[in-house]
Amino acid sequence: MEWVTKSASAQAEAIAAGDLCPMELTEAYLEAIKAHPAGTRIYARLTEGRALDEAMAARDRAKAGLRAGPLDGVPVSWKDLFDTAGVATEGGSALLAGRVPQEDAEVLQAMTRAGTICLGKTHQTEFAYSGLGLNPVTATPPCINDAGAVPGGSSSGAAASVAFGLAGAAIGSDTGGSVRVPAAWNDLVGLKTTAGRLSLRGVVPLAPNFDTVGPLARSVEDCALVLACMEARPAPDLRGAALAGRHFLVLDGAPFEDIRDLPAQGFESAVTKLELAGARITRARLSVIDEVLALSAIIYTPECYAQWRDVIETAPEKMFPPVLERFRSGAAHLASDYIAAWAALMRHRAAYLEQVAGYDGVLLPTAANMPPEAQRLMDDHAYFTTENLLTLRNTRIGNLLGLCAMTVPTGVPSVGISVMGAPMSEDRLLRMGVAIEASLG
């Protein structure tokens, strides 16, 4: 069925017009997942019975003209850190094997009320603590552009499920780039929402001060519709969005340090297209970015290790050593230094917002590198460390500053361009995203 590779919004329109049956669409996805050679590397487990029941209900609502939301009847995948009642939710870790929650995560409840269909749970990196998508403990999904490369993480299976035509849209999480990196490396749109905007109830945590919920999809419109469904509100009006008169800041300096050739070329080509579409571009280096990035280790690692220390240290041998090492590094920081770092970060956030107040958005390459070879990451511990840090450096800026952000494909395979907006300005960001998407073709 050709519909499995269409955007979620196109599927929804066809369902509303009576041209596509949610039951047939869901069955097609389930069959495609089972038949795909990488199906079990993408999905940790299917929720087939639930999906078919929900599809039947969506079919009946469509026939009666009583659709529950803009994506009613569209099948969606869920990262394996969103609780699903009666179905294992293991966070990509052997330490959580057999963990079965009693109720759905709050955002899944909202999506279910909006009529979307839960296909199953997708693989991820352990506890969501890596940007590469490599997980030898459970599974490493493939990258759409390179079968031997990692797909980006930690929402690795989420991105692969959409890119390979095994879901209409995917729900992931983003603590330091875990929606945007896999979206970029698999030629998708990924939306990082502002921390605190969407409920984390029923979401396996990593760093609660930074954890966010966000969609990975084929279009900006899809992301807008998913966000609307999760918030039980009308979708933002994206009509008439244009770049003419928009003023963007290209964030020079840190985001371009050690950048590889293709990400640099793809980004510059995209910026040129934005200018041709009428956008005004200014380039500047902001010292506050370097100061924020310098706080990254002390801000993140103590919170992550404090969250999981007691679980990890019961059986550390069950973890992939590089991920275990990242967690344990959080024990090296003094509480007084951690508190001082947070105070500094809040000052930097205020300074940044003041410095960019005159711009419509801030642009930077989503990732400074291309998807690395999975086997080399397995064999070379030092390479894993350096590539993981480089992978997450640019996306982490948005998390540290408390912003919303979106990555859009540039047209160069596995290269995305990111735009960052002010906290809680997702609707405005989505309108800019639609215009950027159109200018990039």
Q: Is the pLDDT of residue 38 over 90?
A: yes
The answer to whether 322 and 381 are in contact (CB under 8 A) is yes
> Which residue reads 């209409």 in tokens?
168
**Average confidence (pLDDT) over 43-58:** 98
Q: Give the pLDDT band (50/70/90) at residue 165.
A: very high
**Domains of the chain from N-terminus onward:** 2-231 (3.90.1300.10), 247-298+316-440 (3.90.1300.10)
Predicted pLDDT of residue 434: 98
Predicted pLDDT of residue 205: 98
Exposure class string for 274-311: b at 16+ Cβ within 10 A, else e: beebebeeeeeebebbeebbebbbbbbbbbbbebbeee
269-290 pLDDT, tens digit per residue, is 999 999 999 999 999 999 999 9
**Alpha-carbon span 212 to 193, nearest angstrom:** 6
401-427 pLDDT, tens digit per residue, is 999 999 999 999 999 999 999 999 999
Q: Is the pLDDT of residue 112 over 90?
A: yes
Q: Give the residue among 163, 156, 115 at the shortest CA–CA distance from 136.
A: 156
217-242 pLDDT, tens digit per residue, is 999 999 999 999 999 999 999 999 99
167-192 pLDDT, tens digit per residue, is 999 999 999 999 999 999 999 999 99
Average pLDDT, the chain: 98
**The overall pTM is greater than 0.95:** yes
Q: Give the pLDDT band (50/70/90) at residue 61.
A: very high
Q: What percent of the chain has pLDDT over 70?
A: 100
Predicted pLDDT of residue 1: 83
**Alpha-carbon span 394 to 385, nearest angstrom:** 16
> Active-site residues: which are they?
79, 154, 178
Cβ neighbourhood burial of 62 (10 Å; 0-12, 13-18, 19+): buried
**Alpha-carbon span 390 to 373, nearest angstrom:** 15
**Alpha-carbon span 280 to 353, nearest angstrom:** 19
Predicted pLDDT of residue 170: 99
**Alpha-carbon span 195 to 181, nearest angstrom:** 17
The answer to whether 211 and 304 are in contact (CB under 8 A) is no
The answer to whether 412 and 265 are in contact (CB under 8 A) is yes
The answer to whether 157 and 123 are in contact (CB under 8 A) is yes
